[in-house]
Amino acid sequence: MRSLPSYPARFPLLLVLVWAIFVLPSVVLASGTPDHDASANSHPSYAGGPPQLEKAKGESCIRETEWMRRNHMDFLKHRRAETVRQGVRIRSESLLKCAECHQSHEKFCDQCHGYVSASPDCFECHVYPK
Amino acid sequence: MTMDRRTVLGLGGVAAAGVALAPGLTLIAAPPPDKSEASGDQRWAMLIDVTKCESNCTACTRACRQENNVPLFGDPTRDIHWIRKLEIRDKDHRRPSVSLPVLCNHCENPPCAHVCPTEATFIRKDGIVLVDKHRCIGCRYCMLACPYKARSLVYHKTEFPEGGNPNVPIRAKGVVEKCTFCVHLVDDGKQPACVQACGHAGHKAMIFGDLNDPKSEIAMRIREVKTQTIREDLGLKPHVHYQGL
């Protein structure tokens, strides 16, 4: 039966492992990363900056515009659970009411979602009235 | 919101006039309030008078499909049924055959909700058993657990039908769905589509209402007439009652 190699024989292997784990990654990182920003800006549809959204029809949203921009997804999801499971229905703030002011899903919702590459699937099932 | 004394007194007078007119009867159907919530004070139930149900009438099933955007794939093994008509025949012809609609029984002890691994199926405070399709993973345990075959898996991708009802979303492929007692109508103070259709067809075999309200038509009928539920022996306490079965 062959015995295991003694410590001096294994030493070079350990040295290579330590080098591969600690030294190699730092060398690779320091050599520079590919420029992601340049490739994003070269996308044809967003070359002129962020998307321009269609103006809403009504005078004001049910919440501040700034707040809606940041929180509409949590707002909708929270309401979704409350409505389905506890039967809470706030008729003036239902999902169908959004379409009274933001009349085009394509020119409003889809613009930003496409820009930030978010793909919520709400409207696979829910109807966005036209 | 604050109300001054005069407003409160005025509202009290209006409420008293409404009561004086007749219990359960208002002159004009009030629009639903802006905010409402399912409450444990109510217990929704249905009573189906089998003696009034015509064997060749499908008004309830057609109204259900129309109201809830339920498609027909044309494949009997894959079709979605929220409500279906059954014909019960006595093998020895001693009793006449009866026709009856069967739908989700909205049990008080729903086995579908007990087996659901994601808690997608649940029972609302007012007794309506619902599927939260956002959570359903399509495992179909509930379909096996339900003794009424009230549930269907959505095997195919569905499209929003031409002239469909925007108040009811369609469904994603791979979720389980069933009768909701037309919860969107009930929350607005209306009757389920099948009950309305049965009334329009002139049969009035189905009534729907609140069992916890002793003055409601359904509560009175269940007190006065002999009614049955299907598979009472299972102890699920179903809330679709049948008369004349």
Burial of A45 (0-12, 13-18, 19+ CB in 10 A): exposed
Domains of chain B with CATH codes: 37-243 (3.30.70.20)
A130 in contact with chain B, both atoms CB, cutoff 8 A: no
If contacts are CB pairs under 8 Å, which of residues 145-184 in chain B contact chain A? Answer: 160, 164, 166-167, 169-172, 183
Per-residue pLDDT reduced to its tens digit, A86-127:
999 999 999 889 999 999 999 999 999 999 999 999 999 999
**Residues in chain B closer than 8 A to A127 (CB atoms):** 160, 164, 166, 169-170
The alpha-helical segments, DSSP class H, found in B22-95 are: 59-68
The alpha-helical segments, DSSP class H, found in chain B are: 5-21, 59-68, 111-115, 141-145, 183-186, 193-200, 217-224
**Residues in chain B closer than 8 A to A84 (CB atoms):** 130, 132, 134
pLDDT computed for residue A34 by the predictor? 45
Q: Report how far residue B134's alpha carbon sits from residue B185's, in angstroms, rounded to the nearest whole number.
A: 21
Per-residue pLDDT reduced to its tens digit, B22-51:
554 545 667 788 899 999 999 999 999 999
Phi then psi dihedrals of residue B170, to 5 deg: -80, -170
B73 in contact with chain A, both atoms CB, cutoff 8 A: no
- Whether A45 is covered by a domain: the verdict is no
CB B188 within 8 A of CB B13: no
Contact: B172, A124; criterion CB under 8 Å: yes
**Residues in chain A closer than 8 A to B38 (CB atoms):** 86-88
- Whether A110 is covered by a domain: the verdict is yes
For residue A122, give Cα distances in angstroms to A93, A105, A119: 16, 12, 9
Q: Show the domain range for A115.
A: 62-125
Task: Tell me the ipTM for this assembly.
Answer: 0.79
Per-residue pLDDT reduced to its tens digit, B63-120:
999 999 999 999 999 999 999 999 999 889 898 899 999 999 999 999 999 999 999 9
B126 in contact with chain A, both atoms CB, cutoff 8 A: yes
If contacts are CB pairs under 8 Å, which of residues 41-80 in chain A contact chain B? Answer: 80
Per-residue pLDDT reduced to its tens digit, B157-199:
999 999 999 999 999 999 999 999 999 999 999 999 999 999 9
Q: Report how far residue B44's alpha carbon sits from residue B128's, in angstroms, rounded to the nearest whole number.
A: 7
**Residues in chain B closer than 8 A to A88 (CB atoms):** 35-38
Nearest to A121 by CA among B157, B73, B78: B157
Among A79, A91, A93, which would you mutate to test the B interface (most chain B Cβ atoms within 10 Å of its Cβ)?
A91
**Residues in chain B closer than 8 A to A121 (CB atoms):** 172
How many domains are there within chain A?
1
B141 in contact with chain A, both atoms CB, cutoff 8 A: no
CB B105 within 8 A of CB B138: no
CB B84 within 8 A of CB B92: no
CB B14 within 8 A of CB B7: no
Q: What amino acid is encoded at B160 in this protein?
A: F
Burial of B241 (0-12, 13-18, 19+ CB in 10 A): buried
CA-based Rg of chain A, rounded to a whole angstrom? 27
Per-residue pLDDT reduced to its tens digit, B197-233:
999 999 999 999 999 999 999 999 999 999 999 999 9
The residue in chain A having the minimum alpha-carbon distance to the alpha carbon of residue B33 is: A91
Other Cβ atoms closer than 10 A to A49: 8
- Whether A11 is covered by a domain: the verdict is no
Cα dihedral sign for A72, A78, A81, A86?
negative
**Residues in chain A closer than 8 A to B125 (CB atoms):** 86-87
> How many cross-chain Cβ pairs, A to B, lie less than 8 Å apart?
54
Other Cβ atoms closer than 10 A to B169: 19
Measured at the CA of A122, the angle between CA A118 and CA A126, to 5 degrees, comes to 150
**Residues in chain A closer than 8 A to B132 (CB atoms):** 81, 84-85
- Whether A50 is covered by a domain: the verdict is no
- Whether A25 is covered by a domain: the verdict is no
- Whether A111 is covered by a domain: the verdict is yes
Q: What amino acid is encoded at A51 in this protein?
A: P
Cα dihedral sign for B233, B234, B235, B240?
negative
pLDDT computed for residue B50 by the predictor? 95
- Whether A39 is covered by a domain: the verdict is no
Per-residue pLDDT reduced to its tens digit, A11-38:
566 656 666 676 656 655 555 444 444 4
Nearest to B44 by CA among B232, B228, B206, B233: B206
Compute the nearest-CA separation of B172 from chain A (Å): 6
- Whether A82 is covered by a domain: the verdict is yes
